[in-house]
Amino acid sequence: MQRLIKQSLSATLLAGVCLTALWSQNMGTKGSQLVWAPKPISLTPWVAPAKPHWKLSGILAAHKGQKTWTEPIVDDEFLHGEYIQAAPGDKTPRRAHPDTREWWVVWDGEIRFTIDGVEPFVAKKGFLVQVPYRTFYTMETLGDKPSLRFEVNIAKARTMYPVDVTPPALAGFKFEKTTVASKGVWDQGNKPYIDFNQIAAGKEKAGRFIADDRAVSNIIYGDPAKLAPVGPNEKGHFHAECAEFWFILLGKVSYRMEGVPEIMADEGDIVYAPRGRFHLPRFAGDKMSCRLAMNGFQDIAHFFEPKD
């Protein structure tokens, strides 16, 4: 029986729906083990800058009139994420990260990515872009309007620069001229970018965006009208060792989350669930819905209340 269930779940994954989506949307627990899971007696708090619901409309209002700005959104022990707006013509120095993968959701404007070993490309709203460790890249905002991106990396990631670039000052550090071996590789199914617009148009399938030893990101896409109903007391699941957060790529997503009123998140919003808090994300609204889920483990444990 367990073998058949695993085969069924594998088929679902290949169809573009990640296991996380299957569990959290339909609350399936077949084939699971009954265990005692550690859950904090006192609910894990949100630690700034994280909060239950970052509304993009509020972020934009707070930075009205600014051409260039950065708004930290997530900064926990696993991942760091921030919204960044860059003015037309702004270009990052050529840079790389020694041991971490970095990724972006491009949400407005146009950004030209020049990544070592990859043909340069222009990313527009809906592009999901990544670069592996020790792979140099630049980003340049094109056109006559600012670009807006959500940028994520492993917590406390460092940045290195080629010898023909003068590194910016970094408090508490000096930059040493050194040699380093090997560049990052496009392994585990990772690729430079995914155009979410192609998924929304039905030309590509949803599924995993980031597969990394210290992070994962899944594109969870579906139709609210096809969801099975859940009871009013359904809590969803919690994670014992890591927070989880989501970028809303399309439509609306509702969240039941332990300790806070129900959340209704819109496109561009970010929702954050600390470790140990039950949460239940659901496709919502009257059109297709999609969220980009992110956390610090490739195969994070989902703990559900036992079914009667």
Q: How confident is the model at residue 187 (pLDDT cuts 50, 70, 90)?
A: very high
Of 156, 167, 146, nearest in space to 84 by CA: 146
Give dist(CA 27, CA 41) in Å, integer: 24
Q: How confident is the model at residue 2 (pLDDT cuts 50, 70, 90)?
A: very low
| CB 152, CB 76: distance < 8 Å | no
Rounded mean pLDDT of 101-118? 98
Residue 181 pLDDT > 70: yes
Runs of H (alpha helix) within the chain: 2-14, 19-26, 56-62, 196-200
Q: How confident is the model at residue 16 (pLDDT cuts 50, 70, 90)?
A: very low
More confident of the two residues 6 and 246: 246
Q: Do domains 2-48+200-304 and 56-196 have the same CATH topology?
A: yes
Q: Which of 2-16, 21-35, 251-265 has the lowest mean pLDDT?
A: 2-16
Residues 6 or more apart whose Cβ sits within 8 Å of residue 82? 70, 71, 72, 73, 74, 150, 151
Residue percentage of the chain with pLDDT more than 70: 90
Rounded mean pLDDT of 149-160? 98
Q: How confident is the model at residue 182 (pLDDT cuts 50, 70, 90)?
A: confident
Give dist(CA 301, CA 276) in Å, integer: 11
Residues 6 or more apart whose Cβ sits within 8 Å of residue 5? 30, 31
Are β-strands 102-108 and 207-212 bridged in parallel, bridged antiparallel, or unpaired? unpaired
Of 98, 13, 27, 43, nearest in space to 282 by CA: 27
CA distances to 85, 185, 256 from 232, in Å: 40, 46, 10
Give dist(CA 264, CA 248) in Å, integer: 11
What's this model's pTM, rounded to 2 decimal places?
Answer: 0.90
Rounded mean pLDDT of 141-146? 98
Which CATH number among 3.90.1150.10, 1.10.10.60, 3.40.1170.10, 2.60.120.10 corresponds to the domain 2-48+200-304?
2.60.120.10
* 3-class secondary structure, 78: coil
Residue percentage of the chain with pLDDT more than 90: 87
pLDDT attached to residue 14: 35
Q: How confident is the model at residue 183 (pLDDT cuts 50, 70, 90)?
A: confident
Residues 61, 65, 69, 72, Cα dihedral to 10° = -10
Structural tokens at position 195: 């155009």
Q: How confident is the model at residue 157 (pLDDT cuts 50, 70, 90)?
A: very high
Q: Where are the domains of the chain?
A: 2-48+200-304, 56-196
Of 82, 58, 81, nearest in space to 69 by CA: 82
More confident of the two residues 126 and 182: 126
pLDDT attached to residue 30: 59
Structural tokens at position 184: 């990052």
In this predicted model, what pLDDT tens digit does every residue of 199-255 receive, in sequence order? Answer: 999 999 999 999 999 999 999 999 999 999 999 999 999 999 999 999 999 999 999
Question: How high is the mean pLDDT of the chain?
Answer: 91
| CB 155, CB 78: distance < 8 Å | yes
What's the fold here for domain 56-196? Jelly Rolls (2.60.120)
pLDDT attached to residue 118: 97
Cβ neighbours, 10 Å, residue 100: 24
Crossing angle, helix 19-26 and helix 2-14, to 10 degrees?
A: 110
pLDDT attached to residue 39: 98
pLDDT attached to residue 293: 99
